[in-house]
Structure 1
């Protein structure tokens, strides 16, 4: 996935792999509920902006603590830290801050894990899914983010590629699917927060440049 920032998964190797991805519908993470016990994160429930919801891990015991966080419109990750538990075989804690300065931390009820925390590159801050391992509890977890550079790669060029693919006799169904994916992502960027995009633009381009048609012209010139 060219738009995917590097995914860092923290925890152990037990359980079965899982992934929950909203990219194909343009959905982003809207709500995260985390249940923690004395020695690990037991269970998580995720809800995407399109209403899709998944739960991983099944054990919830008396004395467990639940931490719930709902993202406001235009609110994204600005930092994320994950800890393994003390044994290193499960997820131990999750802490993140958002672009609006809100902080959430779900940690083992016995205290912060003694193992070293793992800072995660949140890319653009837009989280479109998670992956990890789980059984009755959360063995490992990683968050999926849209990388910063993808926000500024011309989406019009990608749609042109879809058109060219159709002309090259790809199936209409495949072409329609590609167009819908990119249109959904474009709509998400437009509706969520232009101020956020301008803030990110300063990290990789001169101020005032977001989508610049000169990029398309430069690439077309290079190809010729």
Structure 2
């Protein structure tokens, strides 16, 4: 990755991601952002797997693995809000150390890491979990401008007034 970073532009999230896998490592990663930019880290060769996110889709779970020797990225697995699942791993070595990531709000802003021909290490940047929201410039129509969508029907009406301190009983028949 050459200490590569792709992310962090306003109104931009990851739209697709592709991994090229080797026998004992992730060889390369390509990330497409929703603004059209893309960047490739490592040297793509061999088989690859790609995942394209839907516009409303976000991550619900993400796990990374090292390659067992501690020298390269070995695998990535994630699940999304649209029931999507992705799992790309090295082809020969057994996965060992698993690193579950905090996905925050689930909106992926990009990736960070380092490498040359292969991916030595990788991290995924997420927007923090949303703590609160504020609605601004909300306009409600004035109540007298609304036309009710109901039919008003008066069955019977009578008004009583008690000018004394004693209780009164009134009956209305319909």
TM range (shorter): 0.7 to 0.9
The whole-number CA distance in structure 2 between the counterparts of 1:149 and 1:59 is 36
The answer on 1:139 being equivalent to 2:120 is yes
CA pair 45-82 structure 1, distance change in 2 beyond 3 A: same
Bigger helix fraction = 1
Corresponding residue number in structure 1 for 2:6: 20
C-alpha separation in 2, matches of 1:110 and 1:24: 37
**2:61 is equivalent to residue 79 of structure 1:** yes
The list of structure 1 runs, each at least 4 consecutive aligned residues, that deviate by more than 4 angstroms after superposition, is: none
Match of 1:53 among 38, 49, 53: 38
Question: How far is the alpha carbon of 1:112 from its aligned partner?
Answer: 4.2
The equivalent residue for 2:87 is 105
- Aligned match of 2:148: none
Give the whole-Å Cα distance in 2 for the aligned partners of 1:112 and 1:100.
29
Say if 2:16 and 2:52, in contact at 8 Å, map to a contact too: yes
Gaps of 5+ in 1: 1-14, 153-209, 214-224
Correspondence list, 1:1-224, <5 A: 16-21=2-7, 23-60=8-45, 64-113=46-95, 115-149=96-130, 152=132, 210-211=133-134
Q: How far did 1:54 drift?
A: 0.1
Q: How far did residue 211 of structure 1 move?
A: 2.2
TM-score, structure 1 normalization: 0.58
Do the aligned partners of 2:63 and 2:99 also contact (CA within 8 Å) in 1?
A: yes
Provide TM-score, normalisation by structure 2: 0.73
Q: Structure 2: give runs of 5+ residues left out of the alignment.
A: 137-174
2:161 corresponding residue in structure 1? none
| Partner-residue secondary structure (3-state), 2:28 | strand
Distance 1:102 1:109, change over 3 A: same
In 2, distance between residues paired with 1:59 and 1:66? 8
Distance 1:24 1:46 in 2: 14
